[in-house]
Structure 1
Amino acid sequence: MSKKIKLGLVGYGYWGPNLLRNFIQLAGVEVVMVCDLNEAQLARVKKRYPALNITTDYQVLLASEINAVVIATPLVSHFKLAQAALLANKHVLVEKPFVKTSKQAERLTRLAKQKKLVLMVDHTFEYTAAVNKIKQLIKKGELGQIYTIDMIRVNLGLFQQDHNVIWDLAYHDVSILLYILGKMPKSVIALGQDFIQPGIEDSAYVIFRFPDKILASLHLSWLDPYKIRKATFVGSKKMLVYDDLEPTEKIKILDKGVLVKSKQLPQMPYYESFAEFSYLYRRGDVYIPRLEQKEPLSLVAEHFITTIKQDKKPRSGGEEGLRVTKILESVERSLKNSGREVEI
């Protein structure tokens, strides 16, 4: 497909303006229409982009000349809107979280396959230079055997009314873990609490057991004084700290570790205590790799259009969204059962 992709956006609330800006700036794309139930939001669109058509009727958007729909609405509406778009023969990009249940994810994935349409989920971090660098380093064995991954994603707000902190914040970290490790977790333990809104957990702790004895933990909260986006990867050879809020030094690779007395180290130095004698702590250099500085969302938009034009399978397609959804359902079951370990 060499012609311009004509695109419509539904939802101009929190994330919609960012998506719209990136698609408007993208070559080979013509944004035709924006749909939102809130007329005040549409007035904002018209003020900033006078040439764009606006509507409060989703069917009007689907009946237009567009080839693709970008969905940036509350989670509760994702399935219905995506299904209608696919039935209208439109390619679809859905912001995270994908949908509320794995059954919905399966139905959309199956429908897109039947219609031979692109169904893509906005797993933003899979397109960042930092996450791809981490994936490359682990695949090459630079960190050695991965022992633990500790992830923190906390901030003050934004409180959601139709889903809890798991579906809001853990979605990113689960998609990152699946992308980097290339494997599903075996089980999960989750604890959380609803401090502000009854029945909607705003703080949670999650532990995943992955194959090869890898443990991954998530700390998630809408009730933290600081915004933190950090992950620490501990390997048998090296350690890595990923801080997404760092403007330039997002990744630090630390030549630190513990050397256990073995055949490789027969001549360890003398120490006073047995504990000191059994282990040698390595504290080496810190390496900061150079990363390409580009807005991740622009890469998401570019990838979506490329997959449509080249008839390719997207990196974060319906199948990937389905896997994340299944995992989050397991997290939810553990959460609702006071932290009981749940197999995935």
Structure 2
Amino acid sequence: MAVIGAGYWGPNLVRNFQSSSAFRLRWLCDLDVERARRVLGGYSTIQATANLTEVLADESVQAVAIATPAATHLDVAMAALRAGKHVLVEKPLAASHAEGRQLVTEAEQRGLTLMCDHTYCYTPAVLRIRELVHGGELGDVHFLDSVRINLGLVQRDIDVLWDLAPHDLSILDFVLPPGVRPVSVAAHGADGIGAGRACVAYLTLHLNTGAIAHIHVNWLSPVKVRTTIVGGSKRTLVWDDLNPSQRLSLYDRGVDVAGPDELADDQRRDMLISYRSGDMIAPALGEREALRTMVEEYARAIHSGTPALTDGRAGLRVLSILEAASRSLASGGTMIDLDEEDL
């Protein structure tokens, strides 16, 4: 195993791969080799280098994890795939959908694992949400509403959409049941501080079932909020990521509608609406670092030869929505249809 990149995220990968029994970390590669050595500290069995070619030429290295800037993902990941290595890439998969497609195609042609590190998907809360939605506990999904706001770092090269929304879009892709997918997206944004890019944005996604998803991302909020609500025909789930004592709440409360499924044009019938007010339960969650679970999923995908839960195509689907949302933002919030082939 080799980790490429010793910046913000690289040290977290080093720690988790080093503690995994499924991998033996051999290299940490970074253009600043002294920074790589500082990250390694007491990990004396791992070699630090600034030479990516040297790492990829090492036949003992079977897999790499890439934690470099998004603009470099195509070149670094493509070089690793062409050297016959399995590849894990920090989100986003690539800087554009076209570049991401190149990586997916290359990996599939070579029979190699390509995985995107959508870390939030491997938190205990999101894994449980996926289990509940896929298991039918919520019934049919009617809506998803997500808020990810805080007084955050205004990025120099990307807007708030590309900075924060990938988390929520990857979670949406991860938890939706099979056959349910977004078909269109609209985005509205504002730059109230004159940063030259959207610092506040709202995404609205229409799903092929008629359901709707809404995502609010914001760099300018004085309070931090990380809340997702998934409303279903049977139950509604609330995820408050900042409440460690009760991250998930499952409500047996909602609106029931009784009446004919179809009404003739010349008929009008009153539909009977009733309000259900049942119990609220808080499912127990284990505490486990998401990256540890992600590393285990990477190992499982490599050994089994089957796609990871957040494989390259999952990363590609997120990129497809992000690019469509950017086009919508630039056109004043126009609803943009998503390419079915990409989803």
Amino acid aligned to 1:326: S
Selected match of 1:217 from 195, 214, 217:
214
Q: Return the alpha-carbon distance in structure 2 between the equivalents of residues 189 and 127 of structure 1.
A: 27
Q: Return the alpha-carbon distance in structure 2 between the equivalents of residues 187 and 99 of structure 1.
A: 21
Q: Return the alpha-carbon distance in structure 1 between the equivalents of residues 274 and 295 of structure 2.
A: 48
Aligned length: 326
Secondary structure, counterpart of 1:213 in structure 2: coil
Q: Return the alpha-carbon distance in structure 1 between the equivalents of residues 36 and 131 of structure 2.
A: 42
Cα deviation digits, residues 63-93 of structure 1 (max 9, x gap)? 2331111101111111111011111111100
Q: Return the alpha-carbon distance in structure 2 between the equivalents of residues 13 and 227 of structure 1.
A: 25
Query: Who is 1:132 aligned against?
Result: 127
- Cα 1:41–1:222 change in 2 (3 A) is farther
Q: Return the alpha-carbon distance in structure 2 between the equivalents of residues 284 and 16 of structure 1.
A: 46
Q: By how many angstroms is 1:160 displaced? A: 2.7
Superposed, 1:20-59 pairs within 5 Å as 20-59=14-53
Amino acid aligned to 1:188: V
Give the TM-score, by structure 1 length.
Answer: 0.88
Q: Return the alpha-carbon distance in structure 1 between the equivalents of residues 110 and 235 of structure 2.
A: 46
Q: By how many angstroms is 1:248 displaced? A: 4.0
Query: Who is 1:234 aligned against?
Result: 231
Q: Return the alpha-carbon distance in structure 2 between the equivalents of residues 295 and 203 of structure 1.
A: 29
Superposed, 1:68-147 pairs within 5 Å as 68-147=63-142
- The answer as to whether partners of 1:9 and 1:35 remain within 8 angstroms in 2 is yes
Q: By how many angstroms is 1:197 displaced? A: 6.7
- The answer as to whether partners of 1:70 and 1:93 remain within 8 angstroms in 2 is yes
Amino acid aligned to 1:236: S
Identity %: 40
Cα deviation digits, residues 288-344 of structure 1 (max 9, x gap)? 112232111101111112222232222211111111111111111101111111111
Gaps of 5+ in 2: 261-270, 339-343
- Cα 1:94–1:232 change in 2 (3 A) is same
Worse-superposed segment, 125-134 or 314-323: 125-134
Selected match of 1:184 from 172, 181, 184:
181
Query: Who is 2:280 aligned against?
Result: 286
Query: Who is 1:300 aligned against?
Result: 294
- The answer as to whether partners of 1:76 and 1:162 remain within 8 angstroms in 2 is no
Superposed, 1:240-319 pairs within 5 Å as 240-260=237-257, 279-319=273-313
Selected match of 2:6 from 12, 31, 50:
12
- Cα 1:251–1:338 change in 2 (3 A) is same
- The answer as to whether partners of 2:182 and 2:206 remain within 8 angstroms in 1 is yes
- Cα 1:258–1:309 change in 2 (3 A) is closer
- Cα 1:146–1:17 change in 2 (3 A) is same
Amino acid aligned to 2:130: K
Give the TM-score, by structure 2 length.
Answer: 0.88
Secondary structure, counterpart of 1:149 in structure 2: strand
Worse-superposed segment, 313-322 or 192-201: 192-201
Gaps of 5+ in 1: 1-6, 264-276
Query: Who is 1:321 aligned against?
Result: 315
Selected match of 1:204 from 201, 204, 213:
201
Amino acid aligned to 2:254: G
